Amino acid sequence: MSIAHLPSYGVREATVIWAALISLVAIGFRVKVGVRIRATNHDIAWTETAIVIGLAAAPVPVVVLATGIGVAIATLLARGTPLKRAFGIGKNMLVAAAAGLVLQLLEWSAENHDIGQAMIALGAAYLAAVLIDELITLPVIAMATGTSLRKLFRDDWDLRVTAALTRLVVIVGTVLIIRFDARLLLAVPPLVLSLHLLYLSRVRARTEQQVWQRLAQTTDALNVVDLDEVLTTAITRAAELFSADEVEIELRDAGRIARGGTTGITYDGPADERTMQGAVASVPLEGHDKSIDVGVLRLRFQGPVQLNERERYTLHTFASALCTAVRNAQAYAELARVAQAHAHAAAHDALTGLANRRHLLDEGNEQLHNRHADGVTALVLIDLNHFKEVNDTLGHAAGDQTLVRVAERLRGAARADDLVARLGGDEFAVLLRALPAPAVAAHRAETLLATLHEPFDIDGMRISVEASGGIAIAPATGGVVELLRRADVAMYQAKRTGQRIATYAPARDTADLGRLTLSGELPRAVADQEFTVNFQPIVDLGTGEVIAAEALARWRHPTHGMIDPLRFLDAVERSGLLPAFAEAILDQALIAAGMWRDAGFGVPVAVNVSPRSLLDARFPSAVLARLRAHDLPPDRLMLELTETLTLSQLDVVDQVLTRLRDSGVRLALDDFGTGYSSLSLLSRVPVHELKIDRSFVTAMESSAEAAAIVRSTLDLGRSLDLAVVAEGVEREAQRHALWELGCTAGQGHLFARPLPAGTLLAALRRGTGGRPGALATALHDAGAVVRLPPGRRPGARGRHQPA
C-alpha cells in the first residue's frame, strides 16, 4: 500500500502520519525497562502502546507495515543480532495484526464520536496486544533461561497491571488528541518518553526493594549452626538473588567445594580442578576487617554478564554475611566436637578406650530400669592374676601394652549388645545384655576368659596372662552397684578356690549385713556431722614431748554408739561421699591444730588420705583452701598415704602429690613395709616421713626378721633424709629398743590412746614431770650427755617441730 492511500489526507499529511507511526514504534521499542534473567538480558518496551495508538489513527495494514519498519530501524540502531532483529520484527508485526483484527471485529472507526465505545474498542485491542506479546515473549524467555513459566507470569504482576492500565490511559488520551488533528501524533513520543521514565523509576525502586528484602531474608536464613545447611541455603538463595546459572562456594581451610543452583547442591566434596565455564563473578569470603579469609564465592553465567553497581554491592554484602555464617557454623561444629570428645573421655578409659566405671554404671542402670528390656542382664567381673609382677618386672609400659591387648581381646570376644569396661588397674567388667537364660552367662564368661589364654607378644616377649572371673545375674533391687558387688564376691570366690570362673551364690556371700545397713545411713551421717575425730599423739621417744598428732576418724552413731573406722571407711569410699567425708575430717583436724597453736602448742596434725582422693585433680586446691580458711601454714599438715596405692595409680597421682609437696604440705608413707611394692612406692612418692607398721614394732623383740625390717627401715630413712615414726609403741621396752636403733619418734598406747582434741590439749597443758607438752618422762636427764647409736643424726624429730 502506498502513502497516498491513507484516507482523507494528502501526500504531505500521509508522510507526517507515516513518520509519526514509524518514530512512535521505534521510540516505543527503544524505550525499555531492562531485566536480566541469568546470563540473558530481556527488555520490556512500550511497543504495543505505540501500535494501538497507530491503529487508532491509521489503517491496519499501514500500522503493521510501519511497525515492522520502526522495529527494524530500532534494532538496527541497537546493533542486535540478526536473530533478535527478526524475532522483534515478527513478534511486533503479529501483535499489530492481532490488535488491528480486534478493532476491525469491533467495527472501530476513527470518526466514531462515542467515547465509551472507543475506550472499549481500544481497551480490547490493547488487551489483545499485551496477551499476544506475553504469550510469545515469556515462553521464549523461559526456554532460554530455564526459568519456570509460572514464575515469570507471577513475578511483579501488580506492577505489570499498573503499567498496562497507565498505557491504556495514554492510548485513550492520545486518540482523543489526534481526533482533532492526526499531526498531533508527533507530540505523543515525548509524552510516552516521560511516562516511561516515571515507570522506569518505579521499576527500579521496586527492584531494589525486592533485592534488599531477599537479601535480608537470605541473611536470616543463613543464621543456622549446621555448615551443610548454611552452604545449601547460600547456594540456592544466591542463585535466585543474583539470577546466576551456578553458584560455587570454596572453603579453603577445609579443602571443600560446594556448587549448585536454585534446585539445590549438585556437588559437595574435595576441591577439584574444574573450571567454571562462562562469565564468573567471584568475591572473597572475608570479615569486615578483611583479616579472616574463609574462602571464595563464585557466580557463573552461561553468557557474558556485567554486574551493575547495585548488584556488586549486594554481592559483597551477601559474601560478608556468608563468611560470618560459615565461621559461626565452623565454631559451633568445633564446640560440638570438643563437647563430644569430653563426653567420650568422661565415659571411657583413656588407656584402653573401653567404657569406664561411670559409663558402666550409667548403662547398667538404664538397662535395669528399662522394664521392656528383653532377656536377662548379667555382669562378668574379670581380674588379672599376678599382673603386678608384669609392672614390677617389665615396667609400666609393658603393663600398659598388656592391658591394651587384654581390652582388644575382650572387645573382640564380646557381642554387639555387650558393654566391655575397664574399672581400673587390671580389673575389667563385661555387661551381658539380652541373655536368653541365666545359665548362658557362664558360657559367655568362659568364652571371654578363653580369649586371654593365648600369650601376648609385648616388645618381642611372650607374656601369658591368667584371669579370674565372677558372674552375677542382675538382682531385683540394688541396681548396678549391687550387681558389681555380687560379681566381686564371686570373683574372689574363684580366686580362693583356684577356679577360673565362679557364679555368685547367696550362700557364699559373707558380706556383713550390719555393714551394708550402715552404708545406707552414710548420707545422713555426713549431713548430720556424725563423724568425729580423735587424735593420737606422736612423741619424741627421747624426751617424751608431743611433736605431732594423728587424726583418727570415728562415727558417733545415734543408735550404735561409737563405730570403728574399719567398719565404714570402705563403704565411704564406694559410696561417692568420700569428698564430703574427707573435707569434714580435714576441717576438724585443722580446727584442733589451730586450737593447740592458740594455746601455745605448735603441734602439727597428720590426716590419713584415701587413694581415691589422690585421683582427684581438685584435691590439692581443696586442701590448700581449708588451710587458708583456718589460717594455718601448709607445713602444719601431714598427709599420710597408704600402700594400697598401686603403681598404675601413681601415674595419675604424681601431679597431685607434687603439687601438695611443692605447696609445703608434708607427706608420710603409712604402714611402710607391709606392701609388696614398698620400695617401688618410696622411689616414686615424694614423702617426708616413713611410718613403721605396728606389726613389726610388736614383733621386733621376739622376731629377728621383724627387728631387721625395723632396722633397715631406719637406715633407709636416714639415707633418704626422711623422718621415721614407729607405730604401736605400747611398752617402755619397745621405746628403749627403738631409741637404741635410732628411731626418734613413735606413737602408741604407751603415751596415749586416741583422744578428743580438747582432752589432748588438757593433757598437753598438764604435761609430765612438770613439763607441759610431754606425755612421758625423758629417757635422759636434762643436760646429760647422750650417746647416739652409730649413723643416727640429731634433729630427725625436727621434721615434726614447728618451722
Q: Look at residues 375, 347, 346 and name the one whose alpha carbon lies nearest to residue 363.
A: 347
Q: Quick one: DSSP state of residue 187?
A: G
Give yes or no for residue 111 having a pLDDT over 70. no
Residue 144: inside a domain, yes or no? Answer: yes
Q: Which residue has the higher pLDDT, 795 or 672?
A: 672
Tell me: do 592 and 492 sit in the same domain: no
pLDDT, averaged across the chain: 78
Tell me: do 275 and 412 sit in the same domain: no
How would you label 554-566 residue by residue, b for 16+ Cβ within 10 Å and e otherwise? bbebeeeeebeee
Q: What is the CATH number of the domain that holds 114?
A: 1.10.1760
Q: What is the CATH number of the domain that holds 666?
A: 3.20.20.450
List pLDDT tens digits, range 706-719: 788 889 889 989 98
The residue segments making up the domain with residue 757 are: 517-796
Residue 27: inside a domain, yes or no? Answer: yes
Give pLDDT, residue 37: 41
Give yes or no for residue 244 having a pLDDT over 70. yes
Give yes or no for residue 143 having a pLDDT over 60. yes
> Based on C-alpha coordinates, what's the Rg of the chain?
49
CA dist., res. 446 & res. 443, Å (int): 5
Q: Which residue has the higher pLDDT, 225 or 793?
A: 225
Tell me: do 728 and 613 sit in the same domain: yes
Sign of CA dihedral 249, 250, 253, 254: positive
**Percentage with pLDDT > 70 across the chain:** 72
Tell me: do 572 and 439 sit in the same domain: no
Give yes or no for residue 403 having a pLDDT over 90. yes
Residue 615: inside a domain, yes or no? Answer: yes
Residue where one domain finishes, among candidates 340, 374, 391: 340
CB 88 within 8 A of CB 21: no
List pLDDT tens digits, range 721-757: 999 999 999 999 999 999 999 999 999 999 999 999 9
Q: What is the CATH number of the domain that holds 483?
A: 3.30.70.270
Strands 501-503 and 466-473: parallel
Give the pLDDT band of residue 183 (cuts 50, 70, 90): low
Give pLDDT, residue 513: 46
54-68, 190-204, 574-588 — most confident range? 574-588
Give pLDDT, residue 156: 55
Tell me: do 233 and 287 sit in the same domain: yes
Mean of pLDDT values over 382-405? 84
Segment among 92-96, 266-270, 504-508 with least mean pLDDT: 504-508
Tell me: do 365 and 393 sit in the same domain: yes
Residue 458: Cβ within 10 Å count: 18
Cell numbers given for 440: 548362658
Give the CB-side neighbour count of residue 432, counting CA atoms within 13 A.
29
Cell numbers given for 772: 607441759
CB 682 within 8 A of CB 702: no
Q: What is the CATH number of the domain that holds 334?
A: 3.30.450.40
Give yes or no for residue 184 having a pLDDT over 80. no
Tell me: do 182 and 233 sit in the same domain: no
Say if pTM beats, i.e. exceeds, 0.75. no
CA dist., res. 219 & res. 233, Å (int): 10
Tell me: do 502 and 545 sit in the same domain: no
State whether residue 384 is helix, strand or coil: strand
CA dist., res. 315 & res. 321, Å (int): 10
List pLDDT tens digits, range 291-332: 677 888 888 877 666 676 777 777 787 888 888 888 888 888
Give pLDDT, residue 180: 59
The residues, any chain, with a CB within 8 Å of residue 116's CB and separated by 6 or more, are: none
CA dist., res. 574 & res. 350, Å (int): 22
Q: Which residue has the higher pLDDT, 547 or 237?
A: 547
User: How far is residue 22 CA from its own chain's centroid?
Assistant: 73
How many domains does the chain contain in total? 4
List pLDDT tens digits, range 640-682: 987 555 444 556 677 888 889 999 999 998 877 654 445 666 7
Task: Please provide residue 262's backbone torsions phi and psi, each rounded to the nearest 5 degrees.
Answer: -65, -20
Cell numbers given for 205: 525502586
CB 441 within 8 A of CB 471: yes
Give the pLDDT band of residue 115 (cuts 50, 70, 90): low
Give pLDDT, residue 223: 79
Is residue 321 exposed (0-12), middle (13-18) or buried (19+ Cβ within 10 Å)? buried
Tell me: do 202 and 235 sit in the same domain: no
Residue 483: inside a domain, yes or no? Answer: yes
Mean of pLDDT values over 472-497? 83
Q: Cell 581381646 identifies what position?
A: 409
Q: Cell 621386733 identifies what position?
A: 700
Residue 632: inside a domain, yes or no? Answer: yes
Tell me: do 710 and 574 sit in the same domain: yes
Residue 481: inside a domain, yes or no? Answer: yes
Residue 429: inside a domain, yes or no? Answer: yes
List pLDDT tens digits, range 251-265: 887 788 888 888 888
DSSP, residue by residue, 467-479: EEEEEEEPPSSSH
Residue 801: inside a domain, yes or no? Answer: no
Task: Please provide residue 541's backbone torsions phi and psi, each rounded to the nearest 5 degrees.
Answer: -65, -25
Tell me: do 461 and 501 sit in the same domain: yes
List pLDDT tens digits, range 34-85: 444 443 444 556 677 777 777 776 778 887 887 778 777 777 776 667 877 7
Residue where one domain finishes, among candidates 211, 240, 270: 211
Residue where one domain finishes, among candidates 485, 511, 537: 511
Give the pLDDT band of residue 431 (cuts 50, 70, 90): very high
Give pLDDT, residue 801: 38
Tell me: do 177 and 288 sit in the same domain: no
DSSP, residue by residue, 665-701: -EEEEEEETSSTTHHHHHHHS--SEEEE-HHHHHHTT
